[in-house]
Structure 1
Amino acid sequence: MDAADRDAIAEAVRRAEMQTAGEIVVVIERAASSYRNVPVVMALALALFVPWPLLSFTMMSAQRIFMTQLFCAVSLLGALLWYGRGGRFVPGFVKRRRAHEAALREFTARGLTRTKGRTGVLLYIVLQERYAEILADTGIDGLVDQDTWRGIIEPLLAAAREDRLTEGLIRAIDGVGAVLAQHVPPVPGDVDELSNKVILL
């Protein structure tokens, strides 16, 4: 994402916020987690099976079996850490949970809980997990059903899969702005409380 893309997204946020008293923050993260613990657990679990055939079919000493098991554990760990980069072995539900937890952290960290009227909305995208979510603060969350947010997220994910992330984000921001305009229209004296710039992590 180059400077022109970032400027276009910031302009879309500014334009959307002109229609509403709400605040929109866009966060794009490379990965919600490194998932390094998954290859470690897999390597250790697989290494537990190494001694059994050696005990059953060989006359190796306990010390040699232990050293063989240790060598296998280290080799498996190295192979799985290399091959499993990006969470390749991680189940989808684990990735979605980690991404959701990361979105919740960003929601708090970006000051969305401190806006006037509690009408902040986070548009969170994490690239590695191919995940996107809209989180709204208490002033707007109860007014909008999840199907409305899903209707904005699904085209965004489709655009990202087609390498049109910026275009998809601008459309998603326009959609969030239209929802906010319907439920929290502009009020006199409203100020822009949060930055419009896309946050890249």
Structure 2
Amino acid sequence: MSMLDDNERARVADAIDRIERETDAELVTVLAPQADDYRYIPLLWAGLIALIVPGAVLFFTTAMHASTLLLLQWAVFVLLALVFRVPAVTTRLIPRKIRHWRASNLARRQFLEQNLHHTTAGTGMLIFVSEAERYVEILVDRGISARLDDSTWASIVERFTVQVGKGETLAGFLDCIEACGGHLKTAVPATHERNELPNRLVVLE
């Protein structure tokens, strides 16, 4: 995963600043390495497979002693629990719907935690990315949703998602901010200078 260095984060902040000069929208970008640690997933899968081991072994042989079989079962459990804790492996063990559900929940929490629902004209916009889940979502407050339909962001999110999958997170943020800015400058043009929320990229450690 690429969590972006200081120079790359500064480029994201500069891109937000440029867009906000021409619109009343308040953009906040959030980048998470993953939406959940999924600690229970490796243990769940390791336990299920370890439970199957005795039956599989006994199917092929009846000569194994019970204590040896139990030891083998524990060894399989421990080994798989360690292997399944590798982030790249863990992610593949989780159904896509669950991964996206967890990422979506985190996006909504961030919308509230970053105070995007408290802007003066309700013009907050969140661009959220969770790299492990390859999940991108754009959330807007009432001041923007009243003027732009949610479908406006669909193609932008789709393109950004592809870029995240390719490891092009920085390019994705810059392209996304620019594309969103094109819509915002038309629908929510700048009426006066404002900067209610910080323009920096928020990185969840």
Matches of 1:81 and 1:5, distance apart in 2:
29
**Which residue number corresponds to residue 24 of structure 2?**
21
Percent of matched pairs sharing the same residue:
31
**C-alpha separation in 2, matches of 1:94 and 1:136:** 23
In the alignment, is residue 167 of structure 1 matched against residue 189 of structure 2?
no
Answering whether residue 54 of structure 2 is matched by residue 45 of structure 1, we say no
Counterpart residue number, 1:140: 144
Aligned-residue CA RMSD in angstroms? 2.6
Please state if 1:9 is matched with 2:12.
yes
Shift of 1:9: 1.4
Contact 1:10–1:198, Cα closer than 8 Å, also in 2: yes
Check 1:193–1:46 CA distance in 2 against 1; reply closer, same or farther (3 A cut). same
- Check conservation: 2:42, 2:90, Cα contact below 8 A: no
Once the 2 structures are TM-superposed, how far is the Cα of residue 198 of structure 1 from its aligned partner?
A: 1.1
Q: Which amino acid aligns with 1:158?
A: V
Check whether the contact 2:47–2:77 (CA below 8 A) recurs between aligned residues.
yes
The residue type paired with residue 43 of structure 1 is A
Q: Is residue 9–residue 201 contact of structure 2 (8 Å, CA) maintained in 1?
A: yes
- The Cα of 1:169 is off from its aligned counterpart by 1.6
Amino acid at match of 2:112: T
Distance 1:65 1:156, change over 3 A: closer
- In the TM superposition, what is the alpha-carbon distance from 1:4 to its structure 2 partner? 2.8
Which residue of the partner structure matches residue 102 of structure 2?
98
* Partner Cα distance (2:183, 2:69) in 1: 64
Matched residues in 1 for 2:185 and 2:161: separation? 23
Offset at 1:61? 7.4
State the match for 1:131 in structure 2. Answer: 135
| Alpha-carbon separation, structure 1, partners of 2:165 and 2:86 | 25
Q: Work out the CA distance in 2 between the residues paired with 1:39 and 1:122.
A: 32
TM normalised by structure 1 equals: 0.84
Q: Quick check: 143-152 or 79-88, which moved more?
A: 79-88
Partner letter of residue 87 of structure 1? T
- Alpha-carbon distance in 2 for matches of 1:166, 1:11: 12
* One-letter amino acid matched to 2:181: G
Q: Helix, strand or coil: the match of 1:199?
A: strand
Stretch of structure 1 that moved more, 70-79 or 8-17: 70-79
Name the stretch that deviates more: 46-55 or 149-158.
46-55
Unaligned runs of 5+ in 1: none
Aligned partner of 2:120 among 112, 116, 123:
116
Residues 116-163 of structure 1: CA distance to partner in whole angstroms, max 9, x if unpaired? Answer: 122100001122222211011122224322321112122323344454
1:187 aligns with 2:191: yes
Deviation at 1:26, TM superposition (A): 0.8
Is 1:76 matched with 2:80? yes
Deviates more, 1:31-40 or 1:73-82: 73-82
